[in-house]
């Protein structure tokens, strides 16, 4: 039989249908016609899918119908303006169009040769982005391909920290300064779980990852870091890696880069900065205070796919010395050799990350940056922060509530003074109401303000279409449900 | 200022424009109007991109124009029917539409809760696919969430083998059977470079990855494997991992799973099967001979994004025991806890791979499987193999040429009898002609048929729109250019 490829006319027709479906979906989300959290139980979606694969091709009408019947009612609606859970995962029309074009071109950019534009556009837009967030010149590629710094797009911040750990270990061990059995890594008790996961992956035993205590604002304590690194060094262990966080996942705490960098450097340790969420705020100069000391970082990462309107997956990472990455990750089998690479004239991004193959993700940043412009993206960040300030003041005015930690950018953590059981009940009631969706965390003592950890609700603002009305409506529901407990 | 989001009408209008642009691009590719390898030198694309990010939003006319002016002339045309390099990276209209829908929904499916349909559809389509390629029942999820096997979509085969290595190490060390310092991994000299890269990432020193010799067909030699594992075990080292390959990247060699599994199991070593490219052929029952012994594998991986019409990135991996993965990779911070996960009633795919966040990639497989049906995909595979048989016979009939190794599925490796210098020159002339694009590899002695390694050209067929005429035209150019050297 002939291969039943989709005719070009059908592609355009069904594509237009999907564009409309997506538009309608977002219109319905923005109109509040869709409950954020889907009404499905484990197994419900699976029960609607046949047990066996389709032996013959099926008509597109059936497929499009199933999108409406099975898919849309079965997803969490991350793009709803009433979604305040986790952190936002901003989608935008320009980024969606870029994902379409990326798929349409079908380029696999593992080497410069296999995608010159894929490679050079990535280098350039990451230079732009480094500029936009105020990174020092060392992190820019400046089109020098054999030395200096530069940026790369990963899928997730988890991959960025893993890559940083591998490069750090390679540098520490090949410098002859350390045995791989003696390496110790440091991060705060509040760091993202991906740091511990990456440590596990590289084979660093749990007891050689020190979770450093934090201060009352849940930021890493430099004195605790200094003590821990000093004690390890004095015991013939080799401090080799520190992961600082700008904007922890739990509460948005900001680790102080300047003292951390200073302490780390006395031990020649690599400093990675995980700004996965908060990094987007750096495009606004008024939030760049947290960058103080960033010149002491060896690598820096943030996710435009969280709060910068660039659809998942787009995690930007920069290094100040690309050689550390390249020497740790580059392996060249014969079948990948080519003249441009052999001449050292180009960047081959396969050596900058875990995977070999890669999509043309730079298109997403290029579309988003050009459509919104720097000022448009700044407006989005500022709106998120402004709405969080409003929410913060609403909480502050209600004496049933308290905020054990301060608002961080667009994240507000709050709880009922009556205690954890009531706060947990409140979160359930609010989410069950269908009006909005929020998630929680636990704040350890003594940052919790007492001797016990506190359960708090996280209000993470920053959705692309979240407006003041949505934030006020969420508060109204919270205040009302609190009264009913 | 207000955030300048793209209006819904513009999204649909520009989206339709891009659908047309993509259609036109593929029409031009299929009409042979675009030279496969772009005519750009290092720096050419970068020179067309501004140094600084756009301060203000730009009009879409300018962006779309730049796609035509900068992007399309700057990419390698992987989707050209005259692209025979590396391995194919099949794109298809149904998969492109799925990527659009994936971006449009903006779902982040790290947990079941954050994307029930994203999770359950993935489980189901990977069960379908396991069925389609003839994997034993142990690799299917069967909707049991706490035990048994199951499948997951990774970005690339590199991530699959990395994950397998981490799970294998965890199993070996926590069983108490091995110290992590004594672990030894095994793969053939012909295995993909991603195996060595993954070993580096997990911190396994190079000298503890044994590259096992191959036979005349470049398949791993079971006797050499037996000897190596035996010698290590006898020296108090712990064989813990074997990576077998179905269809090596270099020449498409097929490692014999049955004896490999048997030998590995006497040492309780994990067996990973990397079928990245050749795995797609398993949807045709006539190619399932190579699966003999697959029940001895702990994990199995292939890339629908290579030869199964599912746009990059879509790498399918199955394990026969999910607990090995979960116990190696699962870490649950408070902010990710939720009722469905706590109850053990669901799959949370974040614990099955390196990243935390994840896109709704199951849509691609769902669209592709439903559009083509099993028989449509089989027709695509069979066409690729048929064309390779034709090409093989053309080479065989020309006595200037030889094929040091046999054709494997749709891959033919060939060279000039006159020697490597001429074959290298031929490859350059063919690629410079613009008629098609091929890449090379080196075949080690004695498989090369002599005492020296041989440089061979790889003709990798399997493009979505490669027809007999393209293969014959490529051969005509090869035969003509060979005459001119």
One digit per residue, the tens of pLDDT, for chain B of length 485 reads 899 999 999 999 999 999 999 999 999 999 999 999 999 999 999 999 999 999 999 999 999 999 999 999 999 999 999 999 999 999 999 999 999 999 999 999 999 999 999 999 999 999 999 999 999 999 999 755 556 899 999 999 999 999 999 999 999 998 777 888 899 999 999 999 999 999 999 999 999 999 999 999 999 999 999 999 999 999 999 999 999 999 999 999 999 999 999 999 999 999 999 999 999 999 999 999 999 999 999 999 999 999 999 999 999 999 999 988 999 999 888 888 888 888 888 999 999 999 999 999 999 999 999 999 999 999 999 999 999 999 999 999 999 999 999 999 999 999 999 999 999 999 999 999 999 999 999 999 988 888 899 999 999 999 999 999 999 999 999 999 999 98
Q: What is the pLDDT of residue A319?
A: 97
Give B143's contacts in chain A (Cβ within 8 Å).
43, 46
C-beta atoms of A249 and B203 within 8 A = no
Q: In this complex, how many residue pairs, one in chain A and one in chain B, have their CB atoms less than 8 Å apart? A: 479
Which regions of A349-410 does DSSP assign to beta strands (E)? Answer: 401-402
Give the pLDDT of residue A213: 97
First to last CA, chain B: 65
* pLDDT of res. B179: 86
Residue B323, min C-alpha distance to chain A (Å): 16
Q: Give B146's contacts (C-beta < 8 A, 6+ positions apart).
A: B344
ipTM of predicted assembly, 2 dp = 0.97
pLDDT at B375: 98
Please, how many CA atoms are within 13 Å of residue A237, restricted to the half-sphere of its CB?
17
| Chain B hits for A202, Cβ within 8 Å | 201-203
CB contact under 8 A, A357 and B15: no
Residue A344 Cα, gap to closest chain B Cα (Å): 10
Q: What's the rounded mean pLDDT across residues A126-154?
A: 88
pLDDT digits (tens, 9 = 90+) for A88-138: 999 999 999 999 999 999 999 999 999 999 999 999 999 999 999 999 999
Q: What is the pLDDT of residue B450?
A: 86
pLDDT value of position B143? 54
Name chain B contacts of A371, Cβ cutoff 8 Å: 4, 6, 57-58, 60, 63
User: What percent of chain A is predicted at pLDDT more than 70?
Assistant: 99
Of the candidate ranges A172-186, A244-258, A434-448, B177-191, the one whose mean pLDDT is the lowest? A172-186
> What pLDDT shows up at residue B146?
58
The CA-based diameter of chain A, rounded to the nearest angstrom, is 73
Closest-CA distance, A227 to chain B, in angstroms, reads 26
Among B27, B55, B121, beta carbon nearest to A373: B55
Of chain A, the end-to-end C-alpha distance in Å amounts to: 65
Q: What's the number of CA atoms in the CB half-sphere (13 Å) around residue A434?
A: 8
pTM: 0.97
Question: Mutate which of A38, A161, A335 to test chain B, going by most B C-beta atoms within 10 A?
Answer: A335
Provide DSSP, B163-209: HHHHHHHHHHHHTTS--GGGEEEEEETTS-HHHHHHHHHHT--GGGE
Confirm if A229 and A263 have CB atoms less than 8 A apart. Answer: yes
How many CA atoms lie less than 13 Å away from B341 in the CB half-sphere?
21
**How far is it, in rounded angstroms, from Cα B320 to Cα B339?**
26
Determine the Cα–Cα distance for residues B423 and A241; give it in Å rounded to an integer: 48
Counting every residue written for chain A, the total comes to 485
- pLDDT for B31 equals 97
pLDDT for B228: 98
Given a cut of 90, whether residue A432 has pLDDT beyond it is yes
Alpha helices in A106-221 (DSSP H): 116-133, 157-174, 193-202
Place of tokens 């290029």: A366
Backbone angle region of B113, left / alpha / beta, with phi > 0 → left and psi within -120 to 50 → alpha: alpha
Among A100, A362, A453, A458, most B C-beta atoms within 10 A, so best to mutate, is A100
Q: Which residues contact A254 (CB under 8 A, 6 or more apart)?
A: A217, A219, A245, A246, A247, A278, A290, A408
**Given an 8 Å threshold on Cβ–Cβ distance, is B22 in contact with A105?**
yes
Q: Which two tokens stand for residue B59?
A: 């009009």
CA separation for the pair B58, A3 (Å, rounded): 41
């Amino acid at each position: 039989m002939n291969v039943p490829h989709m005719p070009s006319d059908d592609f355009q027709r069904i594509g237009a249908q999907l564009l409309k479906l997506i538009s309608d979906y977002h219109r319905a989300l923005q109109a509040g016609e869709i409950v954020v959290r889907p009404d499905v139980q484990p197994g419900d979606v699976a029960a609607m899918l046949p047990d066996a694969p389709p032996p013959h091709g099926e008509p597109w009408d059936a497929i499009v119908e199933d999108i409406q019947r099975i898919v849309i009612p079965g997803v969490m609606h991350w793009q709803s303006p009433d979604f305040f859970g986790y952190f936002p995962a901003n989608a935008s029309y320009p980024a969606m169009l870029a994902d379409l074009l990326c798929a349409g071109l079908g380029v696999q950019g593992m080497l410069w040769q296999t995608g010159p534009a894929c490679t050079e556009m990535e280098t350039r837009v990451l230079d732009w982005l480094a500029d936009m967030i105020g990174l020092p010149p060392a992190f820019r590629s400046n089109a020098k391909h054999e030395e200096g710094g530069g940026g790369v797009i990963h899928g997730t911040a988890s991959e960025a920290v893993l890559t940083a750990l591998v490069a750090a270990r390679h540098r520490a061990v090949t410098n002859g300064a350390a045995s791989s059995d003696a390496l110790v890594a440091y991060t705060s008790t509040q760091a993202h779980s991906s740091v511990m996961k990456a440590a596990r992956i590289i084979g660093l035993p749990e007891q050689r990852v020190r979770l450093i205590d934090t201060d009352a604002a849940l930021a890493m304590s430099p004195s605790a870091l200094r003590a821990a690194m000093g004690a390890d060094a004095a015991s013939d262990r080799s401090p080799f890696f520190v992961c600082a966080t700008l904007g922890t996942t739990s509460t948005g705490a900001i680790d102080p880069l300047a003292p951390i960098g200073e302490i780390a450097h006395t031990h020649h340790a690599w400093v990675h900065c995980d700004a996965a969420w908060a990094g987007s705020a750096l495009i606004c100069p008024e939030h760049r205070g947290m960058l103080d000391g960033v010149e002491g970082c060896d690598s820096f990462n943030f996710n435009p796919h969280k709060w910068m309107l660039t659809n998942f997956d787009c995690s930007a990472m920069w290094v100040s010395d690309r050689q550390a990455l390249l020497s740790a990750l580059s392996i060249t089998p014969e079948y990948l050799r080519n003249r441009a690479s052999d001449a050292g004239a180009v960047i081959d991004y396969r050596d900058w990350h875990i995977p070999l193959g890669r999509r043309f993700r730079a298109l997403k940043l290029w579309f988003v940056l050009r459509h919104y412009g720097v000022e448009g993206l700044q407006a989005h960040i500022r709106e998120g922060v402004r709405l969080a300030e409003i929410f913060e003041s609403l909480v502050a005015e209600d004496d049933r509530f308290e905020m054990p930690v301060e608002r961080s950018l667009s994240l507000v953590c709050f709880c009922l003074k009556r205690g954890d059981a009531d706060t947990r009940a409140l979160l359930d009631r609010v989410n069950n109401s269908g009006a909005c969706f929020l998630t929680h965390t636990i704040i350890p003592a003594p940052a919790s303000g007492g001797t016990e950890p506190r359960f708090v609700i996280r209000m993470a603002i920053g959705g692309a279409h979240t407006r003041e009305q949505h934030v006020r409506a969420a508060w109204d529901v919270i205040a009302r449900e609190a009264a009913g407990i």
